[in-house]
Amino acid sequence: MSIYFDNAATTRIDSEVFNHITPFLLDHFGNPSSSHQHGRIARQIVEESRATIARLINARPSEIIFTSGGTEADNTALLSGIRLQNIKHVITSPLEHHAVLNTLKTLQAANEIELSFVRVDGNGNLDHEQLDVLLQSKGKALVSIMHANNEIGNINNIELIAEQCCRHKAIFHTDTVQTMGHYKHDVKELGAHFVVASAHKFHGPKGIGFLYCRDGVDLHKIIHGGSQERKLRAGTENVAGIAGLAKALEIAYADIDQHRTHIQSLKNRLIDGLKETVPGVLFNGNSALADESLYTVLSASFPADLAHGFLMNYLDENNISVSGGSACSTGHASHVLEAIGTNNSRQTIRFSFSKYNAADEVDKTLSLLSALSNAAAA
């Protein structure tokens, strides 16, 4: 049995999505910018997909821009918000994805912005009172806070942050890469100016995502060339990817409650089993709290002597795929765990689940960890 518990990094493509996009690779392969029949069919696919996504998240089709994924969408939103709105002060948290942090630190190093970080406590919860203070301190600001953390699963109160930004006339960008397709989003209720998503996090194809940009907020072009995506993003559109993105989101929304119940039960099973079989296990952030974390993510911290510090290798050798945190940071210390003060002598494993996981996979994982824990105690 091969077990995949790294769905926060990427997910298996849904077979219905795969079947849906195949004709756009083999038959309807035209360039959407071409005026002939093949091109017109491809253009229709792109615009129908845009309309589907807009309908699902309560946006206008004109507010949806297709990108190569979350990183490009984050970069586009941040550079647009900062440069076109003449923003000099940016507020973020130390727990953001590197697509956000590294972009902002690059702008800070070039003296384009002053960068402030909202405090977080030992569980990764944001200090909203300090956010208010920061918003009042240095003129109009841009705030970039993710909806949910990809390593420890904490869910931020996006609606409250949006209200705070609105009161202070700040621009608000939120990365919803880990929550799009797992929670139903209404961008009007979220209140953000920019929202980011990536298809491969909810059983769509890799290499495609979208940026929601609220009408009235201008976008800064970062890829120059042709006039695609209403002259905002040059390059021939990834027609099959776009079709797959829309189909994956449509499927996710149709079955969202059923999948949430199933996945949450697996996560609860693992939490209870770890508490029972692995003495000394701890859970990072709010990841073990059902109402305050992603139902898809559990971050667990294990005693250092378990598997002599090579716990992930041990699980991999037993055909269980997990991670220590973000796939983008493999081989480096986790900035998220450092920011919340996690003991770096312990071993952290991020288990992340999908609709394709099953209870027997959790049980096999627990059996292996229990045997390892017993051996370490002997």
Look at the chain and count its residues.
378
Rounded to 10°, the helix 239-254/37-57 angle is 30
What is the helix (H) or strand (E) element at residue 375, kind and residue range?
Answer: helix 359-377
Known catalytic residues are 328
Residue 12, token pair as written in the block: 């298996």
What distance in Å separates the CA atoms of residue 212 and residue 173, rounded to the nearest whole number? 10
Q: Which residues of 263-298 are buried (b: 16+ CB within 10 A; e: fewer)?
A: beebbebbbebbeebbeebbbbbbbbeeebbbbbbb
Q: DSSP code of 293?
A: B
Is 281 within 8 Å of 366 (Cβ atoms)?
A: no
What distance in Å separates the CA atoms of residue 375 and residue 349, rounded to the nearest whole number? 19
What distance in Å separates the CA atoms of residue 126 and residue 158, rounded to the nearest whole number? 11
Q: Count of CB atoms within 10 A of residue 306's CB?
A: 22
The single residue listed with the structure tokens 């992340």 is: 352
By the 10 Å C-beta count (0-12 exposed, 13-18 middle, 19+ buried), 305 is classed as middle
Q: Which of 33, 64, 80 is nearest to 221 (CA)?
A: 80
Q: Is 323 helix (H, G, I), strand (E, B) or coil?
A: strand
Q: Which of 168, 221, 216, 163 is nearest to 192 (CA)?
A: 163
Q: Which of 299, 332, 338 is nearest to 120 (CA)?
A: 338
Q: Which of 276, 295, 254, 299 is nearest to 373 (CA)?
A: 276
Q: Are strands 114-117 and 209-213 parallel, antiparallel or unpaired?
A: unpaired
The single residue listed with the structure tokens 């609220």 is: 214
